[in-house]
Amino acid sequence: MTAFGPTTSRRDLPQVGGGILGPRNALETPAHNKNPRFLRVPHALEHDPQHSLTALMKYRMKNASPQRQEQARLEVENAEDDLVQQTEVAITLRKTLLDNPEPLKNLNELVKAQLVFHSTAAEALQGIQGDIEELTVAAEGKYRKSRDH
């Protein structure tokens, strides 16, 4: 057991439609969830948008069945486990990056090369654009003359 819960992997648990936030789309929504009475939330939630999602989840969980509460608890524990694992990976990658300057040097060289390439390409396109504009004006003049006769 970790500080955040059991070491159960997310893959060990049955997958649930949309997780703690509910079904992924309207087609998966159970009929009782479409009932307007079920969708009502406390008036206070409408006035506090910063915390409304958290408050809504707490409100729904208070009224949820014990089975759904247990399911939500397991989902939260799995999410916490994933967060801890991803944080550890990020810390390791950052430490590796800071310990060895070579990847940053390589990235800097790539950025410089890309800057030179795109600057050269922009200059070439500007030159070509002028030529194309001249050809366009000449072609339009020739086309209008042919239409007038």
Three state DSSP letters for 98-127: HHCCHHHHHHHHHHHHHHHHHHHHHHHHHH
> Which one has a higher pLDDT value, 28 or 114?
114
Which pLDDT does position 2 carry in this prediction?
41
Which pLDDT does position 40 carry in this prediction?
55
Strand pairing partners for 5? 2
- State the pTM of this model: 0.37
- The identity of residue 129, as a single letter, is Q
Region 69-76: mean pLDDT is 88
Residue 68 has pLDDT above 50, yes or no: yes
Burial zone of 68 (CB within 10 Å; 0-12 exposed, 13-18 middle, 19+ buried): middle
pLDDT band per the 50, 70, 90 thresholds, residue 49: low
Cα(27)–Cα(24) distance, rounded to whole angstroms?
8
Which pLDDT does position 6 carry in this prediction?
45
Residue 92 has pLDDT above 80, yes or no: yes
User: Which backbone phi and psi does 75 adopt, to 5 degrees?
Assistant: -65, -40
pLDDT band per the 50, 70, 90 thresholds, residue 42: low
Structure tokens, 7: 């070491």
